[in-house]
Structures are given as C-alpha cells and as structure tokens.
A and B are shown apart, each in its own frame.
Chain A
Amino acid sequence: MEELDTFPRLLLHHAKVRPNAPATREKDLGIWQTWTWAEVAAEVRALACGLAAQGFGRGMHLAIIGDNRPRLYWSMLAAEALGGVPVPLYQDAPAAEFIYVLNDAGIVYAIAEDQEQVDKLQEAAPQVPTLAHIYYDDPRGLRSYGNVTSFERLTEIGREYDRAHPGFYDGEIANGRSDDVSGMLYTSGTTGKPKGVCQTHAAFIAAAKGGAQFDKLTADDSILSYLPMAWVGDHLFSYAQWLYAGFTINCPESGDTVMTDLREIGPTYYFAPPRVFENLLTQVMIRMEDASAPKRWLFRHFTAVARRVGADILDGKPVATADRLRYALGDLLVFGPLRNVLGMSRIRVAYTAGAAIGPDLFRFYRSIGVNLKQLYGQTETCAYVCLQPDGGVKFDTVGLAAPGVEIKIAESGEVLVRGPMLLKEYYKRPDATAEAIDGEGFFHTGDAGVIDAAGHLKIIDRAKDVGRMAGGAMFAPNYIENKLKFFPHIKEAVVFGADRDNVCAFINIDVGSVGNWAERRGLPYSGYTDLAAKPEVYALIRECVEQVNAELAAEGDLAASQIHRFLVLHKELDPDDDELTRTRKVRRGFVAEKYRVLIEALYSGKAVQHIETQVKFEDGRAGVVAADLRIEEAKTLPLAQRRAA
C-alpha cells in the first residue's frame, strides 16, 4: 500500500497488521464491549458508503455532536475516507450556540448521539437552512421523530451501496491526500466569535507521530476517551495518536461514571485538563478527612515523605537510602492503593494541558508516582508545541520544544511557533489567518512566556491579560487565580488589579468540598447561594486568601498583587451564562462587565452589595438569582524588602 499519510489509510493499515487487536471499547449495559481493528474498519467502510449514498462527499463538512461514542469516532474516519471534513461540536452547548458554527461551516449533514442532541439540532434547524440530514446513534425517545435516520439504517444503506459499487470506497481512500483538511475544530472563543481551525492530515499526523515517539507509545497502550470530542486535546490523543500508534481507546459508560470506568480500564496513557486532576485531589482530600484517625495520620505522614523525595525518585535523581525505604513503605501503604483508587496504577505517562496547573497540584501527583507531565499547545497547533521529557520535568515550565517545532519569543514577550503542525487556515477567515501567522510562518500564540537557560518554555499568562498595577508592579491574574484554585474549597476565582492600587477577588466555592466541610460541622444550608453567604464559609475562604497573600509576599515583583478584599459570588460561574468558555476558562472581560457593580463595591470600601443576576437553567429557561453579598478584607503582608540575589 502507499504511504500512511492520511487517517483512513492508517485505519486500513491497522486492520491489516493487527486485525484482531482491540481498537475501541465501550461500556454498554454494564459490560465492556470490544471492537477489533478489522471490525472498526468494516464499520467505517459501511458508514462511509452510507454517507456517500446519501450524497456526502469530498470537501463537505460533517457535524458530529455527542459524548465520546465509538460510532462518533468512526464517523470522523468515514467522513475523511470520502475526502470530507468532520466538525466535532461541544456536546453541552445549547442550540443557540450551535447556530453560528453550523452556518459558518455550511453544515448539511450532522451526526448526533441521542435525542438530546437531535432536539438541539432541530431547534437550531430553522436558522440553519442548509441542514438537511440528521443521523443518530442512540434511538431512545426518537421512535416518533419523522425526519431523522438511525445509524443502523445508514450503515445498511452503506452496505448495499458498497455491494453495488465495488471499488468505490478503496478508490475514495486512494484519492485522499495528506494536505487535505482532515478536521475542523472550532476555537473556544474566549474573545469574539468561534473560528474554524482547518487542520490537515499531515499536521495532525506530524503531531501524533512526534508525541508518540517522544513518549514511546505503542499498540499496547490503552487510554480512556472522555473529554469533549470537539477539544483539540481529545482529537490528538483519542483520534490522531490512536490511529498513528494503533492502541485502544475506551469510551466510558456515561459522563458520570468516568471515575469508575477509569479504575476498571486502568489506562497506561492518560490525558486530562488540570480541572480533572484538581477535582480528583479534592475528592481524595474530602475522603481523607472522613477517614479514621490512624489512616489520616498515615496519609499525612507519607505524603510529607513523598513531597520531599517522591518527584526525585520518579525522575531517577539520587535520593538517600533511608528516604528510599520510607518512600517504598509509603508506596506499599498509601501511594499504591491511592493510585489504584484513582485508576492510575498502570499509567506510564499522564499529560495535562489546556490551562496552567498549580505547582502544588502538579507536584502532588508526581510525588505519589504518577508520571504527570505538561504539554503546551493550541487548537491551531494540534496541541503540540512543548512536551516535558521524562526525567526533566520542571514544575514551573511546560518543557522543551517538541520534535520538529521551532519556538521564539517576540519583542513583546509573546510566544511564536513554527512547524508542520500549524493550521492550514481559519475557515473562510483569511484576515484572521493573516493576523495569526506572520510572513515568516510563525504562529502568534497570544501567550506571554520566557525561555529559561535549559531551553524550557515558561508560560506566564495570556499576553493580553498580563497588565500593570497603578504602582507599576506586574499583574498576572491567572497566576494568582491558580494559586487560589489549588485550595479544594475554591472552584473558580477571578481577580482584578490592572491599573488599580490593589488586587480584589471574586471567589466561587466548590460546593462539593465546602458542602462536605459544612456537613461535618453540622452547618445546615439549602444550596450554593445559601452556603456561599455563610459567615463560617467566609472565614474559611479568608484563610485561603491570606495563605495566598503570604506566598505572594515572598515573590518579589508579585508581592504587590496580594488580595486586599474579596467576595464569594452568589452563583457558580457557568458556560451557559457565557461566564466561562466551553473549556471552562473564565471570560474575564465579560465577567468584569456583568458584575461591574460588584467590582465597584470591592474598590469603594462598601461592606455589602445587593445583586440580581440572570441565570439560564439547563433547559434554556431563564431565572434570576438575587443576593446581598458581603465583602471582606483579607490580611496582607507588608511588601518584603527586595534583597540582592
């Protein structure tokens, strides 16, 4: 066969060399079901022929909406086999958010997971005149829908078409070229309308190959595919690397069972945004607080040992024999069982990306023996710019330039990158493409960073977020927020301080963690808003804030960023209310505008501020949450004298 330079060709390759190896698993009705590479190849063939029979073909876009289901991954392959372009969308977005993207991509064909997604597509349909064909995976509740087609029917049509047109499918795959666009992922749109990022087979295969060789991925690896399919990270790990290395992807039973499924599968290769690692650690901490005194002591004692030497042992650095023995005992009693509970017993490599991760959080996982590493990249770079090498992981950097990638720092401090993994273009947006990629072919990431003496890239913040305080000190909001978010009680934080005399903060409590804390103290509460307003909770949060202040006070230039006043928001920041992006990054400008009255109160010295906020419920209905928010002061430390280094 010719070169393995497109994803459909890679699929055929695996079906030939490892036909009986597991390619995809899914837990259904409580049992893990397996499809081998040969079976997946047959399914994709039928699907592709079905789509072709329905008129889908080269250059067209196929919208794919739903949780991680084997058939949805196969649909991407089917679309690509015909020279079409899969366009995965965020499955938890409401219909109104689909409309722009569906129109922008000129969607005619869409594949939906279930009734929920079909309903959303049909709700959007009147405003998306091109949308004509909807196919669904899970038939539940869809029996009486007239104008939608089931997957079974589609593959049936496909098999007939295949019989009637022998050679068609293979011919289509042979027509594919490595510089065809293989997928269009929409940027999350922290600013402005989402843009369709067109990536070629060549780009994603280059990124997959680089990563797979860097971490020695093989066909024996196994990963859990549970992150939104529309996210570039999932596309790289569960799709591009899956097809490059030929390992097994495992689809969880449902979004709520991921933890259990993770334990059952015990993946060897794992990818999660910092939020997931944060939530896991929060759960561990909550459960440890509920554990018996001897267990609590064991946990505290050995995690202290791990904090001291765990990461060094993982990196193969010299460690005293006594400490090695202590660590080994800890591994037997605490870390091993803990890794098992977390589903991380078999992990060789775990990655996190998507947002900055708190160094303490990062250190915790490495210290208990999970080889957690950071990578750095964007949708526009196939999530492939920097990787942390084994044995060379630094907590505060994102690692070295990945194989084949060139990095340079612009005058302004912005990180610029060049390499085979760059986007071909933004769909129908030559202006944006020209703005993002300069004449020398460097992509402007929008992140501010520095390269240290060892060549590691350190990301400070979004270039546009880094500002100066009125007194001239540097203000890096994400940096402070991440410090706050490391406390299990704090779920989200937004700090303000650019061009101000001091820094103030909005806090979202973590209702699971604080709720548990309140329960153990016999503190009754009715829901988030009530809990958030309790004086006891304020005291708890103040402690966290003051601890962050103490850390900041020791960090030279950042000492001026200590938080003077804070409030606990009366509602959780939510993507449905446009306060977070679908990847759960704070939309700073929007939040500042929406809660302007609160910011004014923070800086005016008021002690209480009334606020009413529109909220959207999951069904799309709107309501109002009103509260009188208390504003509290936090202790700050005097700015430390700067000493000569």
Chain B
Amino acid sequence: MSGGGRRIGDVILQLDRISLAFGGVKALTDISFDVREHEVRAIIGPNGAGKSSMLNVINGVYRPQQGTITFRGTPRRDMDTHQAAAQGIARTFQNIALFRGMSVLDNIMTGRNLKMNATFVEQAIWIGRAKREELENRRKVEEVIDFLEIQHIRKTPVGRLPYGLQKRVELARALAAEPSLLLLDEPMAGMNVEEKQDMCRFVLDVNDQYGTTIVLIEHDMGVVMDISDRVVVLDYGKKIGDGTPDDVRGSQAVIDAYLGVAH
C-alpha cells in the first residue's frame, strides 16, 4: 500500500515518558513513542484512552506534568501552540472547528495566517507585500483546493456543507499551512464507506505527494490497518502496544482492550 516514492526517514518527534493529569484524573501515564519522517503513524484505543489528549500534548494545547518532547532535535518540557504551528505542525479536530459562516476559500486562507508577514497598514491599503503575499497565498490555497477536489464548494459557506465535506475542508485548512507534521483527530469519524474511502485516498496522497508525516487517531480498525505504517495503542492512558499493524493486530493486550475482559 505504501508507495515506493517516499522513504521513511529518521525520528522527527520523540515523546519520552509523558504523563498528564487533570487534578486527580490521570489522562496519560508514562507514555513514550516516536514518529519517523514521512510515515503514517496511528494512535488507536477505546473511548477515553487518552488519544486526543496525546495529540493535544504534541501541539501544545495541554502541558504534560512530566516527560519531554523532542521535535526535530530540540528537547522541550512542553510545546507551545504557536511554536508548534511555526515549526510546521498542523492539525484537524475531532469536532469540526471551522468558521461556519465563512466560505470554504476563506476558511482555508486562515490556514495561511502564519505565512503572512505584511503589516496591518500594508494590508489595509493593499500594497507591496500585502498584495504579493495574498496572491501567493491564494495560489497555494487553490493548489490545496485542487488537490482535495473541492473546487465546486469554493464559495460555499462551510455551515451549509454536509459533514463529510466539512471534514475535507478542515484537512484543506491544515494542508494550507504546508505542515511537515500533520495531526488528524478522527478524520473519518461519522463518514459512510465511500467518504471514508475518499478520505483514506487523500491522506495517502498527502503523505505520498508532499511527504508529510501524519499522526492520526482513528476508530475504524480497517482504515488504520490499511493506511498506517506503525500503530500505537493506548488504553486508560497507558501504552499497551506499539508496532506495525500486523504486530498490533496479533497482540493479546490489544484484543483484550478492544473486546473487554473481566477485571
């Protein structure tokens, strides 16, 4: 399945002994794993296993109490959301987080926010850098629109779109930031078979075409097994498995976590 065009490279993100608690609730306990350049890395686990918390730690929404995050060789106690974005980490959310009243095009344009350096005055009177940047950004956004095949809804307000397309628009906004690491929180939740298939195709195409490293959370095991290179399994905030889809599929701990065993 994985195309021959991309080569999985060195570790770019290393999570070391991460623990995160909200008051007395331990969301993540002592979790370590790594992500290699150009790979598709899945995080799976039952509800409440800590998957979304893990993504939130990676892009700095949550600050773990313990552990270090090493991104591209720089170790940190925690990430900061702005730092994460500036370093090329983009994400989508489990519950769609788009501007519902704005058009698809404008929503995706917001993904280019960090690439705009013109001053307020320049932007207000549309000269110099502001004009140049806007044209350049629009071109990039159009490439993303073309890539995800959403030309027909370019001018449609996001709130009027069906769920599956909103998910695609969210991916488009993340891609517009030209990320090197893309975090996808349940990109296929609530989709029908055909929509899922399209989304899988897009995720793989992004990975293949731009070499983007992808960390994704997904419930549909079929999807996970088909498109990921390696899988981390969480349960009750602990890591209970890590390896290729085949390794994970055969692991007793994983089977127990998913099917449930008497405690």
Contacts and interface: CB of A to CB of B under 8 A. Distances in A.
Interface of A: 28-31, 140-141, 143-144, 253-254, 256-257, 260, 617-619
Contacts of B209: 140-141, 143
A144 B152 CA distance: 28
Contacts of B146: 28-29
Given A29-B139, A29-B143, A143 B152 contact: no
Nearest to A143: B5
B208 interface: yes
Contact of B208 (A143, A254, A256, A617): A143
Given A29-B139, A619-B194, 4 more contacts: A28-B146, A143-B3, A144-B4, A618-B194
B205 A140 contact: yes
B-side binding surface: helix, strand, loop or mixed?
A: helix
B140 to A, nearest CB: 10
Given A140-B209, A143-B5, A144-B3, A30 B151 contact: yes
Nearest to A146: B4
Contacts of B4: 144
Nearest to B192: A527
Contacts of B152: 254, 256-257, 260
A30 B193 CA distance: 30
B20 interface: no
Contacts of B154: 30
A31 B143 CA distance: 12
Contacts of A143: 3, 5, 208-209
A28 B4 CA distance: 29
A253 B142 CA distance: 12
How many B residues touch the partner, as a band?
20 to 34
Most A C-beta atoms less than 10 A away, residue of B4, B138, B151, B209: B151
In the complex, the 10 A-B pairs of residues with the closest C-beta atoms, listed nearest first: A144-B5, A256-B152, A144-B3, A29-B142, A143-B5, A144-B4, A30-B142, A257-B152, A253-B151, A257-B151
B47 interface: no
A141 B193 contact: no
A72 B91 CA distance: 38
Contacts of B197: 619
A619 B192 CA distance: 13
B23 to A, nearest CB: 41
A617 B139 contact: no
Contacts of A619: 194, 197
A257 B193 CA distance: 24
Nearest to A115: B205
B151 A254 contact: yes
Given A141-B208, A143-B209, A144-B3, A617 B194 contact: yes
B151 A256 contact: yes
B86 to A, nearest CB: 27
B10 interface: no
B16 to A, nearest CB: 34
Contacts of B220: none
Contact of A617 (B147, B149, B193, B205): B193
Interface string B191-210: 00110010000000100110
B145 interface: yes
Interface in B159-203: 193-194, 197
B48 to A, nearest CB: 28
Given A143-B5, A144-B3, A254-B152, A30 B145 contact: yes
Contacts of A28: 146
B191 to A, nearest CB: 14
A462 B81 CA distance: 67
Contacts of B142: 29-31
Contacts of B205: 140-141
B190 to A, nearest CB: 13
23 contacts: A29-B142, A29-B145, A30-B142, A30-B151, A30-B154, A31-B142, A140-B147, A140-B209, A141-B208, A143-B3, A143-B208, A143-B209, A144-B3, A144-B4, A144-B6, A144-B208, A254-B151, A254-B152, A257-B152, A260-B155, A617-B193, A618-B194, A619-B197
A260 B4 CA distance: 38
A31 B208 CA distance: 26
Contacts of A29: 139, 142-143, 145-146
Contacts of A31: 142
A221 to B, nearest CB: 26
A260 B193 CA distance: 29
A617 B6 CA distance: 30
A618 to B, nearest CB: 6
A618 B6 CA distance: 28
Interface string B1-37: 0011110000000000000000000000000000000
Interface in B127-157: 138-139, 142-143, 145-147, 149, 151-152, 154-155
A453 B147 CA distance: 57
Contacts of B5: 143-144
Contacts of B6: 144
A257 B209 CA distance: 25
Contacts of A254: 149, 151-152
B257 to A, nearest CB: 29
